Amino acid sequence: MKKYRIGLVGIGAVGAEIIKVLRERDFPAEEIRVLARSERDEVIAGETFHVQPAAVEAFKGLDFAFFAGTEGAKGASKQFGWPAVEQGAIVIDNGDDFRMDSRVPLVIPEINAAALQKHQGFIANPNCSTIIALMVLAPLHRVARIRRFIASTYQAVSGTGREAMRELEDQVKCHVAGKPLKHSAYPHPIAFNVIPKIGSLKPEAPGHTSEEIKMRNETRKILEDKKIRVGATCVRVPVMNGHSEALHIEFDRPMDPDEARTILAKAPGVKIMDNVENDLYPLPIEVSGQDDVYVGRIRLDESTKNGLALFVCGDNLRKGAATNAVQIAEKLLELKLKK
């Protein structure tokens, strides 16, 4: 089997997870070259990697280059993305700088792998909350077109990165010790709290944050349907890892819960966990470390015509970021689209 030279830009929470996923899935990697701001050694899952300073010439000889930005992370792919393509690498970017670029496919392999046929050497990972929602929404949309959905998200601190995860731990310890809760990752303490703002405010959509606008724009691009109306409120919650979302959907025809379960039972990468009588429903603490997206609380939404409501959970570091990126590379090899 041919082996490939892999580059990884960034070694934070997502970057570390990409290395774990590459190893777990036995990706045919001859080399994993880690690039970041400063030179050092990093130990990931018991394996030591020598980190090189990121520079254009550092991408020479690579087959794939993963850019491992967390939510809203900017800069690295803007500086090095297209130069890496010019060096011969296929870029798979987890940041949001190029998701809406017409040159760049925005891909969830289970949903729109065909978009890879048009890649120009640069492919974008959707936002984690978009991926987790669309893993469930897309199979339903194929059967009965979605006119509108409303998403209320409950997003874990791991989406912000390692510092936010440490901050949540420290705040819990301080609370138990009766000490003040210091904060820097967010504008307020996150322990025992929720913060209804993720990302920056967008002048073109007054009152909405960048995270909320991403869900609308990315959904339309991935599903190739500009008419879908999306309302989102994105909330940071004191959960270490695993995003949850309450979705209220309006279809163009009636969709009852049994039909939805039948469709979702066949959807790749989706697991149904829906027995509310026995307290069986998706929980972030249980999906953490899993690659599937879990769905439950499937029921009629009587507040709108042809309405359905459901609840989804997924690991934002894995399927919401690292696993999806590695799956894109695997799909490229499968489709023999490697340049």
Asked about 243 being catalytic, the answer comes back as yes
Catalytic residue among 141, 234, 243, 313: 243
Residue holding tokens 């974008």? 124
Tokens 């109306």 sit on residue: 229
- Cβ(185)–Cβ(169) below 8 Å: no
| Residue partners of 188: CB distance under 8 A and separation at least 6 | 195
Provide the residue type at 54 as one letter: A
With residue 311 as reference, give the H or E element that holds it: strand 307-314
For 273, half-sphere exposure in the C-beta direction (CA atoms, 13 angstrom radius) is 18
Nearest to 214 by CA among 299, 288, 125, 315: 125
Is there a contact between 190 and 154 (Cβ–Cβ < 8 Å)?
A: no
Give the SS3 label for residue 320.
helix
Q: Are 296 and 281 in contact (CB under 8 A)?
A: yes
Determine the Cα–Cα distance for residues 319 and 303; give it in Å rounded to an integer: 31
Handedness of CA 59, 65, 71, 74 (dihedral sign): positive
What span, in angstroms and rounded, lies between the C-alpha atoms of 91 and 98? 11
Q: Point out the catalytic residue in the list 128, 141, 234, 313.
A: 128
Query: What is the C-alpha to C-alpha distance for residues 313 and 295, in angstroms, rounded to an integer?
Result: 7
Active site residues: 128, 243
